Amino acid sequence: MENRGHLLTELRNPRSMHIDRMSIAEAVDLINSEDAGVAQAVANAKAEIARAIELVVA
């Protein structure tokens, strides 16, 4: 199996390293906060995403 440990998506998130020690409410808040970052990341990369889609469907 190919080692993908160098990829950003495969790195451990330092903010959730101790999620097992958080209260349920704290864990839900963390998950919600992390999920909110996804929408911002997509917004920041929308031009590149659109271009990639154009290349795939062309």
**Whether residue 20 has pLDDT greater than 80:** yes
In tens, the pLDDT along 27-40 reads 999 999 999 999 99
Say which range, 1-5, 37-41, 50-54, has the weakest mean pLDDT: 1-5
pLDDT value, residue 17: 95
Please give the model's pTM, rounded to 2 decimal places: 0.62
Say if residue 27 is exposed, middle or buried (CB neighbours under 10 Å; 0-12, 13-18, 19+): middle
For residues 30 and 19, is the Cβ–Cβ distance under 8 A? yes
Helices 24-44 and 46-57: crossing angle in degrees, nearest 10, is 70
**Whether residue 49 has pLDDT greater than 80:** yes
Cα–Cα distance, 17 to 44 (Å, whole number): 26
